[in-house]
Amino acid sequence: MLAGGLLAGFSVLSLLTYGYLAWDAAGDPESAGATAKLEEGPEAEPAPTPPHLIFILADDQGFRDVGYHGSEIRTPTLDKLAAEGVKLENYYVQPMCTPSRSQFITGRYQIHTGLQHSVIRPTQPNCLPLDNVTLPQKLKEAGYSTHMVGKWHLGFYRKECMPTQRGFDTFFGSLLGSGDYYTHYKCDSPRMCGYDLYENDNAAWDHDNGMYSTQMYTQRVQQILASHNPRKPIFLYIAYQAVHSPLQAPGKYYERYRSINNINRRRYAAMLACLDEAINNVTLALKRYGYYNNSIIIYSSDNGGQPTAGGNNWPLRGSKGTYWEGGIRAVGFVHSPLLKNKGCVCKELIHITDWFPTLIMLAEGQIDEDTELDGYDVWETISEGRRSPRMDILHNIDPIYTKAKNGSWAAGFGLWNTAIQSAIRVNHWKLLTGNPGYSDWVPPQSFSNAGPSRWHNERVSWTAGKTVWLFNITADPYERVDLSSKYPEVVKQLLRRLSQFNKTAVPVRYPPKDPRSNPNFNGGVWGPWFKENEKKKKPSKNKADTKQNKNKNKKKPDRRKGHSLRCFAGG
């Protein structure tokens, strides 16, 4: 894999040179003088710089919810960038926030980081394991300036878990999985509410001016680009909060979608329209400040859409939180002047873990030989149309998810306990076991005033006791024809592959709630609370001392800027 990655790096060398010179001619105010100097002789020619890497991650965008997939929601920026780049139409992520983000930033499956169950909750003493090397750390080693704007959701219970401690030079955004788009408050439960907007390692009270997060994050990206030297490589990870619930958007974006009767769908459409405009503004900033010609823009959703929150994955089956295609097949594309083939559709198998080695190789960085990655360098696949080095994807093995009642070792031919939730893709075949989650198809017309109506959904009543499904995803991407009984030998082969993967799994990290996480103990702010050297205090000898110590620990929430700690809708 490394050898292929090095070849990929060399293959774009001439393109990188072209991109740099193009910026000199078009973006530099002193371009004429610079060009003259280049013509004086080889000694005056600057060395080509690695490309600027811009990774944009949308939150909960449904597979159908982009113009070029037939949506009624207009996304002119995404459509144009994708049409001029490479559309990824066999591209997979994970079904929820934390899993996708952890795999992007480490290049490793969940079973290899211990994050194979659910997401990291705000009150859990948990984060991306500190012994995992991250993408921004490797890019910093390669000489990149690294910046993150947006949603982290990889844990924060101790300072070492924060984005600035995991490789980012700067961080501006939220630590949790969701929150109010204007006030940036989040309630995890009653009396467990706090502020969640950070500037590096501190609460960003100075930015608490009621600005909509999509626009606020875009403004920060523009500031970063304006202040950075485009002759030096930059990695920008822009993880927008949109279009995750709560469903909120500035009023002007609702105007064009008055015809959508369903209120959740209408709000969702307004949020997506604002996001599309934001990405246009980011692209314009890349051009204005001299980055564009030597940049690679990658766009991805972190998981499928949630129909009850306005998202739509039609014609795919299932939704966010499931291992049906609607939960894990994502909107994705690459846009760059450095692509050899543009205006193409890539149908080769690509997974979110692949960005880790791909971007490091593009950055001319190094991946240690003992680094155990699950991702592949897929730049030549995307840029040149070559075959993908990836032949399979472990979608996940979750040993603590609710077991399927009728699952058994017998149903798994003695190779696998089919009560366990798992999913795997090998070539054309996809196997699911256990409880894969909500399995309906939700057509666009199902969005009535009352929300996605089950009367309009396509339901399938499975035979009682079913815990194994097999599909040929190439021939049947909508997962309508279960082939498990027709091809038992294929089922056995995939069960064996699951068993092999499971032997490499590390224990699940999903600790119970820690009461010390309450923002009321931290000035009304969600943030690190765990201290390594913290010792349990010995109980006081008399009741008066005990009462005094309790009173000391009762800190009032920070109510600066007139905020109240009421609960806001979130997901």
Q: Is it the case that residue 329 has pLDDT exceeding 70?
A: yes
> Would you state the pLDDT for residue 486?
98
Average pLDDT over residues 192-215: 95
Give me the catalytic one of 69, 97, 228, 335.
97
Per-residue pLDDT tens digits for 38-85: 233 333 334 468 999 999 999 999 999 999 999 999 999 999 999 999
Spatial CA neighbour of 122 closest among 73, 87, 155, 158: 155
The verdict on residue 523 lying in a domain is no
> Would you state the pLDDT for residue 375?
98
C-alpha 568/C-alpha 560 separation (Å) is 18
Question: From its phi and psi, is residue 15 left (phi > 0), alpha (psi between -120 and 50) or beta?
Answer: alpha
User: Percentage of residues in the chain with pLDDT exceeding 70?
Assistant: 82
Average pLDDT over residues 523-548: 64
567 is catalytic: no
| Bridge partner list, 299 | 56, 333
Q: Is it the case that residue 90 has pLDDT exceeding 90?
A: yes
> Would you state the pLDDT for residue 456?
56
Pair 20, 229: CB distance under 8 Å:
no
Q: Which two tokens stand for residue 338?
A: 């450095």
| Bridge partner list, 92 | 329, 351
The verdict on residue 440 lying in a domain is no
Q: Average pLDDT, whole number, for the chain?
A: 87
The verdict on residue 502 lying in a domain is no
> Would you state the pLDDT for residue 6?
39
The lowest-confidence range among 250-264, 332-346, 380-394, 525-539 is 525-539
> Would you state the pLDDT for residue 106?
98
Per-residue pLDDT tens digits for 233-267: 999 999 999 999 999 999 999 999 999 999 999 99
Q: Is it the case that residue 547 has pLDDT exceeding 50?
A: no
Q: Which two tokens stand for residue 80?
A: 């144009």
The verdict on residue 292 lying in a domain is yes
C-alpha 244/C-alpha 122 separation (Å) is 16
Per-residue pLDDT tens digits for 445-458: 877 655 555 545 66
Q: Quote the domain boundaries for residue 255.
A: 52-391
The verdict on residue 294 lying in a domain is yes
Per-residue pLDDT tens digits for 153-162: 999 999 999 9
CATH code, domain carrying 74: 3.40.720.10
Q: Is it the case that residue 463 has pLDDT exceeding 70?
A: no
The verdict on residue 129 lying in a domain is yes
Burial label, 500 (beta-carbon count in 10 A; 0-12, 13-18, 19+)? exposed
Q: Which residue has the higher pLDDT, 540 or 94?
A: 94
The verdict on residue 67 lying in a domain is yes
153 is catalytic: yes
Give me the catalytic one of 153, 184, 228, 351.
153
Q: Is it the case that residue 132 has pLDDT exceeding 50?
A: yes
> Would you state the pLDDT for residue 445?
81
β-pairing verdict for 202-203 and 198-199: antiparallel
The verdict on residue 139 lying in a domain is yes
Reduce the DSSP state of residue 189 to 3 states and report it. Answer: strand
| Residues 213-250 as b or e (16 or more Cβ within 10 Å = b) | bbbbbbbbbbebbeebebeebbbbbbbbbbbbbbbbbb
DSSP letter at 99 equals H
Average pLDDT over residues 110-130: 98
> Would you state the pLDDT for residue 1?
45
Kindly indicate the confidence band of residue 212, based on its pLDDT and cuts at 50, 70 and 90. very high
Spatial CA neighbour of 176 closest among 131, 127, 129, 211: 127
Q: Is it the case that residue 31 has pLDDT exceeding 90?
A: no
Q: Which residue has the higher pLDDT, 431 or 11?
A: 431
Average pLDDT over residues 156-174: 98
Number of domains comprising the chain? 1
Question: Model's pTM, two decimal places?
Answer: 0.85
Q: Which two tokens stand for residue 371?
A: 């680094």
> Would you state the pLDDT for residue 464?
58
Pair 65, 331: CB distance under 8 Å:
yes
Reduce the DSSP state of residue 213 to 3 states and report it. Answer: helix
Q: Is it the case that residue 557 has pLDDT exceeding 90?
A: no
Average pLDDT over residues 323-331: 98
Other CB atoms within 10 A of residue 496 CB:
13
